[in-house]
Structure 1
């Protein structure tokens, strides 16, 4: 569970609801026709803009916002260092036996075991990165579109309410309540855009950047392994993907890194397995 996302949406909605309750009756903020115009119109326009399959993918991806982030650049760097040690001890062919849950890392290890050229490995992994960015961009773009549609349909609902209000000007007592109802659709549209759709798009983009960084670590680490660099040279190349404060010393095969300080345990087992 991503507690930052949970805290953000719960606290945001709680503050808005509290302000509504403290300001008077909450019943006046409930308008079913207005919700139908904003929510229904936003979803309908989204289906009209992109394919049905992509919309379903976007809704499923919204779950990722509240799930824990499993990407860890430090662990991936440690894993690549362990693979470097394995290749130095047993040769590149041994990397073909590596067990890992990452399909991209497994493909990279197979390419190394097959003695693929540096250009082939670089192009293959870069294609993986580009493909991931494109897939994730499609999902993020859907939520950005919904964030644009929701306020627009809110304004449309306001115009409908104003037209209905003006048609009843001969009854002054209905002007106030009718105006309040007309403004509610704008409220719904702004709320959905700023509290739901834009934050989801932003969190998905942050997750994408983290995944891209992991794939780039795999790519550069594999190039270092292929060129038979010392594992400490591989570490120095990959450490740039981490902020200075998060760069931890590592230990491979009982040797301490040149980073200084107490060495941290390696991120992969020495028996030909990578996490």
Structure 2
């Protein structure tokens, strides 16, 4: 669990609600069904319109990374590579076959299998870099979905505000309806701006950060696997890979 993400969301909405209370407002004044329907529904509709179903599904699934990011440890990765190097120097590359079959990480398992199969180092690098680039682009596209939602929601909020004002202007002779119309107008704007800046943009940036960290880890694994294939000394491999920690 990423405690910082949870704390960030709690603080963001606590600041909004707490500020409203300190100014003498009531919490109920910030809850408006029509405004929420306009902003949330409109934002989702625009996002669905521009996004393919596989990408939309992937983006919604990857939203959990904000709170439960995939485990990435450069230190553990370096330890793995060093173990492979030591075993390869003692038993040859075929000695890694058992490790390849048991390796839980798909990317590392693929590299080990290429090593065991005797692929050339350039072939190994080419295959693994294609895998890395393809995965990285797909993950970044998921982040762009939330960035798009952050772009749409303030505009949809303005639409909600205009609709509320239209309601006010068409019912000037009915004072009882003026309050609800004005409330919808202002609350819709708050919803649009708040969702963009407190949720959608931060989620997009968080996902980008996770993708960058995974990419750095996999870049390191590629260099490590190539070094093992070339028979480098384990100590030299460790010194090289520790450069990724800086």
Same fold (TM over 0.5): yes
Normalising by the residue count of structure 2, what TM-score does the alignment of the two structures yield?
0.93
Aligned-partner Cα distance in 1 for 2:152–2:131: 32
Q: Structure 1 residue 175: deviation in Å? A: 5.1
Tell me if 1:94 matches 2:90.
no
What is the alpha-carbon distance in structure 2 between the residues aligned to residue 142 and residue 234 of structure 1? Answer: 39
Q: Please provide the CA RMSD for this pair.
A: 1.6
The 5-angstrom pairing of residues 191-202 of structure 1 reads 191-202=194-205
Q: Which structure 1 residue ranges, 5 or more long, are not aligned?
A: 244-275
* 1:84 matched to 2:85: yes
Counterpart of 2:219?
216
Note the alpha carbon deviations across 1:216-239, whole angstroms, 9 max, x for none.
111000111111111111112211
Q: Deviations over 1:65-102 (max 9, x none)?
A: 11155100111011101111111111011112112111
**How many residues get paired?**
243
Kindly indicate whether the alpha-carbon contact (under 8 Å) linking 1:108 and 1:121 is maintained by their aligned counterparts in 2.
Answer: yes
Contact 1:2 1:69 in 2 (8 A): no
Deviations 1:13-67 (A, max 9, x none): 1121111222221222221111111000111111111122322221121111111
- The secondary structure found in structure 2 opposite 1:178 is helix
Q: Deviations over 1:126-185 (max 9, x none)?
A: 011101111101211111111111111001111111222222345678656633431111
Q: Helix, strand or coil for the counterpart of 1:97?
A: helix
Where has structure 1 moved over 2 Å in runs of 4 or more?
166-181
> Which residue, out of 103, 116, 120, partners 1:117?
120
Tell me the TM-score normalised to structure 1 length. Answer: 0.84
Determine the C-alpha separation between the residues in 2 that align with 1:68 and 1:7: 15
Give the counterpart of 1:206 among 205, 209, 212.
209
In 1, Cα distance between equivalents of 2:135 and 2:70? 16
Preserved contact between residue 69 and residue 210 of structure 2 (Cα < 8 Å): no
* CA distance in 2: counterparts of 1:21 and 1:52, whole angstroms: 41
Deviates more, 1:84-93 or 1:231-240: 231-240
Flag the structure with higher helix content.
Answer: 2
Q: Is the 8 A contact 1:61 1:139 kept in 2?
A: yes
Per-residue deviation, 1:121: 0.5
Alignment of 1:4 onto 2:4? yes
Counterpart Cα distance in 2 of 1:230 and 1:177: 74
Contact 2:165 2:182 in 1 (8 A): yes
Distance 2:176 2:97 in 1: 80
Match of 1:138 in 2: 141
Q: Does 1:14 align with 2:14?
A: yes
- Gaps of at least 5 residues in structure 2 are none
Write the mapping of 1:1-275 to structure 2, written as runs, cut at 5 A.
1-23=1-23, 24-98=25-99, 99-170=102-173, 178-243=181-246
Change (3 A) 1:92 1:185: same
